[in-house]
Structure 1
Amino acid sequence: MKKITAALLHFWETLFHGLRAGIHPVFLVFHHDVKLVFKNISTIIIAAGLAFLPSLYAWINIYACWDPYANTGNLPVAIVSKDQGAVYNGKVMNAGDEILAELKKNKSIGWDFVDEWQANYGLNQGKYYAMIEVPDNFSARLLTLTSSTPQKPVITYRTNQKLNSIATKITDAAKTKLVENIKSNFVKTVTSEVINTVKTEMKTTSLDASKIKELKTTLSQANETITTLKKYISTASTDSANFQIYLNKSSALLPKVNAQMSNLQNILSADRELAQNTETTIRSVSTNLNTDMQQVNLINQKNQQMLALLQQANANAISKDTLALMQQTTSICNAADALLQSDRTTLNALSQSYNLPALSLAADSLQYVDKLILNERDTLKQQMAILSVDASKEKTAKALTVLSKLSDSIADQLTALSARLATDTQPVLNSLISNFSLQLGNAGKIAQAENTLLPQMNALAAFNTASGQITSSQAAQLNKTLTTVQESLNTLLTKVGTITEEDLDYVTDLITNHPGEIADFISSPVTVKEVDIYNSSTFGVGVAPFYTVLAIWIGALLSCALLTVNFEPKQIGGWKLNLVQKHFGKMLMFLCLSLLQSMIIVLGDVFLLGVHPADFQLLLGLTALTSVTFTILIFTLVSLFGNVGKAIAVVMMVFQIAGAGGIYPIQTNPQIFGMLAPLWPFSYAIDYFREAIAGPVWSSVQHNVRAMFFFIVGFLLLAIFKKPFHLFTEKMEKIYKKAQI
């Protein structure tokens, strides 16, 4: 037991001596530096200057930004009104003059009322930050808002952004507020006029419960009328649907009808052509019959003349001329036969085609006459053969007698046939010609009717398509519209049903006795209630965290720049010093100076400027934490890297001013600053200073404090690399001295 106790005592004794040997020289270095500060008045003045100098940076900037918006009345803005005015309800209205009158009462901006030339000249020369011009038709256009064709009035706003970008933002806000006031005042004026008109009408018109009841009855009747109308539309829609089915069927048959009509046209065309040809043929037959009968009569007469010549000839000697005459007569008979054969064939064809017995009889008569002529021809041939062998007088006389009788018989038959053709055949042919003429006329009428019918049927098909699309859609749309109107009527009917006589009295009293309140409410129906969760009172209080943190950084950087961070003696008080002990010993002196600087800054913020923190003790504690963090960070950089470390500290400060969200929200900066913000101690220091001043959210305070401790621990551990970097730093210092920069 004694051995264990002795071992523990030895361990603690060894640990104590080890810690004492490591830490005690650090405090000896600190004590040495403190004595040097108070050794003479010069060092005291330098130390005091270093203590107070950073606070001036913070106080001056905070005071300059304390309440800039309270002094916007000093910003010169030119106002020009060229408004000619307008007449409304018999009253002259000049909105431009009203704007000038209102602005003369408004001291938030330095309004300067000048003419157009002075305003433009002053704006270009930098005398005015902005210019607002009311045009000559401003009132006239403003009053068009009460008409069916409104035109927006225009106010011209010009700025000189070259002078100051923030000033133009302030004047822009003033311009926006001016426009809002114009709108509000105009609506208030028009509403007042409307209410006064209603008030006048109410004096001449009594509004009581009986009229409300009449209104309810009227609305109910209108509702019932719409219901009935919807039923009619539904019935009409059903009839339209049935008619549509019929039209669809008609449209389906229309292609077939068109094809059949086309075939009918072809048939009519062929029939018309056939009828024309047939009519022509019949007319030709009629003409040919008359001509042929005349020709046959002439032939018979010639035969008789030739027979007479033969009888008068010398019976003793038949000359060659007699035989020649007989041969000529034979040829004439052949010609007559050809004519009669042609006419007979045509009459038989017509008789068979149209079943006309009269034509058949005429053809038979022609055939009979033709046989007689052929007999005469054959007899001539026989007599010519006889006479050519034996041309005695007796034989010749006998032959001539036979031929003469035959010729007389033919003449009689021709006479009878001509009479029959004139009485029986020719009327039949004339009737056929009339029938075919009538048939041609009917065919023409059919073709004309068909030409009229086809476009009408096509139009019916087009109507089918259009009516199918229009009628159904219009019926549905009308039904939908009526339903909407009916719903609105029902809603109105419900609301009217809730109106009581007390409500009417209240409305009457409101319009009669409180028109101003109504106009004011309509012109500005919404009032914004601003509630500040953390009231920073003025802009200066809002920027105090940023400038305070920046001043603490500048104080630590200034100390490291003006005072040496190296301890030259190799031992002190009998203790041999290493580089790490010298490093931390000198750091203690800088920590004390930075704490003094920071406390002066913060106490001046509170008691000189009037920044009233929500938690003063928290503010002091966070100030100390900020001072320690910044000093350790900057001192370590300068101690390890010398002048390079000072440059690094300056670069960090520049980035932190722009990208720590001190003045503008970090979200409004370029994205790169938002990405780098978590790397800067400024981000956390500014946040927890705001918490202490406006009211702490402890979770946020704890988060920021933890981040600052990470910086402290990280840069304390960097002191381990003091020895490796010491050689580099000394070498760089020698280079600077040698270069005499």
Structure 2
Amino acid sequence: MKNVWTIFRTDMLHIRSSVIALIIAIGLILMPSFYAWFNIYANWDPYDSTGDMKVAVANSDKGYQGDLLPAKVNMGDQVSNALRANDSLDWTFVNEDKAKSGVESGEYYAAIVIPEDFSTDLFSLLNEGTADSGKTDKTKARQAQLVYYSNPKKNPIGSTVTDQGASTVRQQISDTLTSSVAQTAAGTLDSVASYLDTDQSARSISALSANLRRQSADLSDAADLASSYAGLADSAASLLDASGKSMERTKRSLQSSTVDMDGITGKLGDASTSIDRVNANMADGLDSAANAFDNVGDNAEEALGKPAAGSANTAAALRAISTNRIRPMIASLTQYRNTLVSIRETLHTEPAKAAIDRAIADVDRTLKRLNATDTKINDAADQAEAKGQAINDSGKDIAAQAQASAQSIRDLNKSYQDNVVATLSGVTDSAKRTGTDAKALVDETTSALADVTGRTDGSGSAGALTNIKELTANIDTAHDTLLEQSKKLGETADKLDEAMASGGVEEVRKLLSQPTDTIALAMTTPVTTKRIAVYPIANNGSAMTPFYTLLAIWVGAMFLSIILKANVSDRISAALDRPRPWQLYLGRGLTFVAFSLAQTTVLGLGDLLYLRAQATDPLLFMLCLWWSSLVSSMLVYTLAAVFNTVGKAICAALMVSQIAGIGGTFPVEMLPGVFRQLYPYLPFSHGITALREAVGGFYGNVYWEQMGRMGIYLVVALLIGFTLYTPVTRAMAKTSTLISSTMAMN
């Protein structure tokens, strides 16, 4: 090792003995620091100095005025005023032509042009456009556009900064519009809050709840009414069907007078409202049944007056009258009675129930007479079969009974009008006081009923029956819908009462009592981002310190390989005691390492003490720099010493590839694929990772792992130096001689 130290001491003495050499040595030590410091300081906080970058703004907006927004609004002027108060860029306000020419000449980094129809397009949702056909078209909403001109040729980073400025303008416009709408909405909420502060609000809510419950009850009554009318319509249809069959039977068998079914059908179309039509249908049904019973008596008396030879036919005719005409009427009146019973169950007042009870009693008396008539006809038929002769006395008795039954049926019509119609009309009047939904549904039912009764156009009782069935189906639908709406109103009233009981109104009052600006801000910016830096770094300069500091170390090592001689001269070798090749290699290597460590010490202390770059642990920061300096200087020296000129070229290529491939300025993932593949194998990548740990903060053993990986390159350099120094140096000597012979290259 004596020869190694002799070479190192001799090199230092020779440099110190020459003033020029000493100046060059000092320059070698300081040069990497100046390179790093200038770059770090230049990147210390560049985005804080964008206020001097000129960006032209040309406002050609003519404004907007429409029916929904009668006051003229010029968003271009508002944007310009907002930019005048913004100092992030040097906004220069010119006309459109000067803005464009200024970007082309390089006077401005960029230009933002607000077109003349900017406000019109911005408020197009509030405006009625005109389609190509000349007709009003409300659907042509247009997106307002800003025209942005940039000049990347002037400066690529400047173009990126001005792009951000254009985004700021766009965001400013969006915030202005949203804020205006939010302020208006917040003002409305403030009015609501003021109202909630008064006692009148509680009384109004209570009154609203009571009204809702009352309307719910009215809708429920209307539903019950609809169901009742459906039953009445079914009874009317049954009576019409029974009386129609009776008239048809009279026409075919006894050839007597027929009942005018067209008249019945005509009566169905005379009603002015849907309820009147149902009532008319019922009255017509009862009248038809009474007329049919008038004919029943005549037909029975005629059949009983036939000679004895026709007794068998007389009995058959009598039974046919009972089966086909009287019993269907009994069934129809029974159905009518059941309907009245159902109506009574839905009523809530005693007078109304008493009226329906009277109607039921009238029906019972009529049914009793019809059953008595039916019994007498069947008894007469039995006598005719037994005696084999006509029974004139029975015929007169039956005729009288039939006339009494017919009159009883006619009395039912008056009973229906006096008791049933009068009672249900009272419920109808209550139903008319319900809300809009109930009215719409009743109107729909009325229209359906009018359509049904209006279509009885002389087609006989069959057409009337078909229409009445459709009427019944529509009334059933109305019943279901009314019940549903009644339930919804009841639920709404329950929720209002619950809110009042639980203090919900008080909660709303507290919410709306906040300042209008606060509510508007919450509406315009419902979501904000809370930025938490896991490893906070004070400024951009500190963040760039690892890259530029390590790069300066490698640059310093490259300068050393150019200025210092990589091989020991023959004169120095002659003064040594039988030097070996590895001693010569290490001796000059110590000189390289000493200069590199001196460069790094000045560089690192300048970063910490002069620039005040951030360092979580200054000692580990310096240790990483020294270790990187040792690795880089030995690697560069070994390549230059072993491979001479070719080795220096390899060092230059290695440094260039590391600058592009280590992700110093851009993330590695943004680099081309070839650099991403090289990244793990470059010594610079491990050094910068370790140094970033010392600057921003440590995670696990990342720092020491990266330091250990850098040591691999030191081992590789020493292996190359110890094994190849002598044989390769001799071979490269011939190459160096050939290069020197060109008289132009060294």
Interval containing the TM-score (normalised by the shorter chain): 0.5 to 0.7
Question: Match for 1:191 among 173, 182, 197?
Answer: 182
Distance 1:732 1:692, change over 3 A: same
Match of 1:587 among 578, 586, 589: 589
Q: Given that residues 209 and 496 in structure 2 are in contact (C-alpha distance below 8 angstroms), is that contact kept between their aligned partners in structure 1?
A: no
What letter is aligned with 1:677? Answer: Y
Q: Does 1:61 align with 2:39?
A: yes
1:521 and 1:685 map into 2 onto residues whose CA distance is 47
Q: Structure 1's 572 and 519: CA in aligned 2 closer, same or farther, altered over 3 A?
A: same
Distance 1:543 1:46 in 2: 29
TM-score, structure 2 length as denominator?
Answer: 0.57
Deviations 1:547-586 (A, max 9, x none): 1111100111101111101112475666211211100010
Per the alignment, residue 518 of structure 2 pairs with: 517
* Residue 80 of structure 2 corresponds to residue 79 of structure 1: no
Cα 1:95–1:37, aligned 2, differ >3 Å: closer, same or farther?
A: same
- Structure-2 separation of matches of 1:78 and 1:492: 61
> Quick check: which has more Rg, 1 or 2?
1
Q: What is residue 630 of structure 1 aligned with on the other side?
A: 632
Question: What is the deviation of 1:109?
Answer: 0.7
Partner of 1:394: none
AA paired with 1:624?
W
Partner in structure 2 of residue 159 of structure 1 = 150
- Check 1:144–1:668 CA distance in 2 against 1; reply closer, same or farther (3 A cut): same
The 3 A distance-change label for structure 1 pair 28 and 138 is same
Correspondence 1:131 to 2:111? yes
Specify the alignment match of 2:368 in structure 1: none
Partner residue, 1:355: none
Q: Would the alpha carbon gap of residues 737 and 195 (structure 1) be closer, same or farther in structure 2, given more than 3 Å must change?
A: closer
The residue correspondences of 1:708-719 to structure 2 (distance < 5 A) are 708-719=710-721
Give, in whole Å, the separation in 1 of the partners of 2:692 and 2:657: 20
Q: From the superposition, tell whether residues 564 and 509 of structure 1 become closer, same or farther in structure 2 (CA, over 3 Å).
A: same
Tell me how far apart the structure 1 counterparts of residues 192 and 210 of structure 2 sit (CA, whole Å). 22
> What amino acid maps onto 2:560 in structure 1?
S
Say which of 29, 51, 56 aligns to 2:29: 51
The answer as to 2:188 corresponding to 1:208 is no
**What corresponds to 2:726 in structure 1?**
723
**Compared CA separation, residues 729 and 222, structure 1 to 2 (3 A):** farther
2:690 pairs with one of 683, 688, 692 = 688
* 5+ long unaligned stretches in structure 2: 128-138, 224-479
User: Identity across aligned pairs (percent)?
Assistant: 29
Which of 609, 614, 617 is the equivalent residue of 2:616?
614
Per-residue deviation at 1:219? 10
Structure 2 Cα separation of the partners of residues 650 and 225 of structure 1: 93
Distance 2:160 2:695 in 1: 28
Are 1:602 and 2:604 an aligned pair?
A: yes
Select 2:8's aligned residue among 2, 17, 30.
Answer: 30
SS at match of 1:158: strand
- Kindly provide the CA deviation profile for residues 575-608 of structure 1, in whole angstroms up to 9, marking residues without a partner as x: 2112111000100011010000011111111222
Q: Which residue of 2 aligns with 1:669?
A: 671
String of CA shifts for 1:155-196, please: whole Å, max 9, x gaps.
222212221221111111121122122212211111222333
Residue identity opposite 1:726 in structure 2:
T
CA distance in 2, matches of 1:571, 1:584: 13
Change (3 A) 1:126 1:653: same
Report the Cα distance in structure 1 between the residues aligned to 2:213 and 2:671, rounded to whole angstroms.
61
| Residues 214, 709 of structure 1: alpha-carbon distance in 2 compared, 3 angstrom cutoff | same
The equivalent position to 2:651 in structure 1, one of 649, 667, 671, is: 649
Q: C-alpha separation between the residues in 2 aligned to 1:492 and 1:31?
A: 102
Q: Which amino acid aligns with 1:724?
A: P
Give the whole-Å Cα distance in 1 for the aligned partners of 2:205 and 2:644.
Answer: 96
Q: Select between 182-191 and 556-565 the one with higher mean Cα deviation.
A: 182-191
The yes-or-no answer on 1:507 pairing with 2:508 is yes
1:732 aligns with 2:735: yes
**Counterparts of 1:495 and 1:578, CA distance in 2:** 102
The C-alpha deviation readout for 1:451-500, integer Å capped at 9, x for no partner, is: xxxxxxxxxxxxxxxxxxxxxxxxxxxx9xxx9xx99x999987994566
Matched with 2:566 is: 565
C-alpha RMSD of matched pairs (Å): 3.5
Question: Once the two structures are superposed, what CA deviation does each residue of 1:60-87 show, in whole Å capped at 9, x if it has no partner?
Answer: 1112222210111111111112222234
- Work out which of the residue numbers 8, 20, 24 in structure 2 matches 1:42: 20
Kept in 2: contact 1:579–1:722 (CA 8 A)? yes
Aligned pairs (5 A) from 1:397-408: none
The answer (yes or no) to whether the contact 2:4–2:587 under 8 Å persists in 1 is yes
* Residue in 1 that maps onto 2:548: 547
CA distance in 2, matches of 1:647, 1:46: 23
User: How far 1:97 sits from its partner (Å)?
Assistant: 1.3
CA distance in 2, matches of 1:90, 1:537: 52
- Alpha-carbon contact 1:26-1:581 (below 8 Å) kept: yes
Whole-Å separation in 1 of the counterparts to 2:635 and 2:696 = 28
Compare the two structures and name the one with the higher helix fraction.
1
Counterpart code for 2:685? S
Q: In 1, are the aligned partners of 2:644 and 2:729 still within 8 Å (CA)?
A: no
Given candidates 171, 184, 187, the residue that maps to 1:180 is: 171
Per-residue CA deviations over 1:103-146 (Å, capped at 9, x if unaligned) read: 11100011011111111111122111111122223223333456
Shift in alpha-carbon separation, 1:493–1:582, aligned structure 2, 3 A? farther
How many residue pairs align between the two structures?
A: 466
**TM-score between the two structures when normalised by the length of structure 1:** 0.58
Flag the 1:545–1:198 CA change in 2: closer, same or farther, 3 A.
Answer: closer
- Secondary structure (helix, strand or coil) at the match of 2:659 reads helix
Q: Kindly provide the amino acid, as one letter, of the partner of residue 43 in structure 1.
A: A
> Partner of 1:116 in structure 2?
96
Change (3 A) 1:204 1:660: closer
2:529 — aligned with what?
A: 528
Check whether the contact 2:195–2:201 (CA below 8 A) recurs between aligned residues: no
Aligned with residue 575 of structure 1, among 569, 574, 577? 577
Distance 1:225 1:165 in 2: 74
Residues 1:574 and 1:538: Cα distance change in structure 2 (over 3 Å): closer
Structure 1 pair 714/492, CA: closer, same or farther in 2 (3 Å)? farther
Larger CA deviation: 142-151 vs 528-537 = 142-151
Q: Which residue of 2 aligns with 1:366?
A: none
Counterpart in the other structure of 2:86: 106
Residues 56, 547 of structure 1: CA spacing in aligned structure 2 closer, same or farther, 3 A cutoff?
Answer: same
User: Structure 2 CA distance, aligned partners of 1:677 and 1:587?
Assistant: 27
Is the Cα–Cα contact under 8 Å of residues 216 and 493 in structure 1 kept in the other structure? Answer: no
